[in-house]
Amino acid sequence: MTTTLGVEATGPTRPRGGDLVQQFEAGLDAPICLTWELTYACNLACAHCLSSSGRRDPRELTTEQCEAVIDELERMQVFYVNIGGGEPTVRPDFWHLVEYAVAHHVGVKFSTNGVRLTPERARWLASTDYVDVQISLDGATADVNDRVRGPGSYDTAITALRNLHEAGFKDPKLSVVCTRENIPQLDEFKSIADAYGATLRLTRLRPSGRGADVWDVLHPLPAQQRELYDWLVARGDNVLTGDSFFHLAPFGEKLPGLNLCGAGRVVCLIDPIGDVYACPFAIHEEFLAGNVLEAGFQHVWQTSRLFADLRSPQTGGACTSCQFFDACRGGCMAAKFFTGLPLDGPDPECVQGYGEAALAAPREVPAASQDHSRSSPGRNAPVLLTLQRRPPTTACDENPLAGTAASAHS
Partner 1 sequence: MVASGAEQARVDLAEAWELSPSVALRPEPFGALAYHFGNRKLTFLKRPDLVALVRALASAPSVASALDIVGISARQRAAYLDALSGLAATDMIRKRAS
1 belongs to the binding site for partner 1 (CB under 8 A): yes
Interface of this chain with partner 1, residues 304 to 363, rule: CB under 8 A: none
Report, in Å, the least distance between residue 371 CB and ligand SF4. Answer: 20
79 belongs to the binding site for partner 1 (CB under 8 A): yes
Near partner 1 by CB under 8 A: residue from 6, 92, 313, 391: 6
Closest CB to partner 1 among residues 17, 119: 17
Q: Which residues bind ligand SF4 (CB under 6 A)?
A: 206, 247, 250, 261-263, 267, 279, 281-282, 319, 322, 324-325, 328, 330-334, 346-347, 350-352, 354, 405
The bridge status of strand 199-204 relative to strand 80-85 is: unpaired
Closest CB to partner 1 among residues 208, 259: 259
Report, in Å, the least distance between residue 158 CB and partner 1. Answer: 24
197 belongs to the binding site for partner 1 (CB under 8 A): no
**Segment near partner 1 (CB under 8 A); pick from 76-84, 134-142, 300-308, 376-384:** 76-84
Report, in Å, the least distance between residue 377 CB and partner 1. Answer: 37
Report, in Å, the least distance between residue 5 CB and partner 1. Answer: 5
Q: Which does 237 bind (CB under 5 to 8 A by kind): ligand SF4, partner 1, none?
A: partner 1
Closest CB to partner 1 among residues 257, 264: 257
387 belongs to the binding site for partner 1 (CB under 8 A): no
Residues near partner 1, by CB under 8 A: 1-8, 10-11, 14, 20, 23, 26, 28-30, 32, 77, 79-80, 105, 107, 129-130, 132, 237-238, 256-257, 408-409
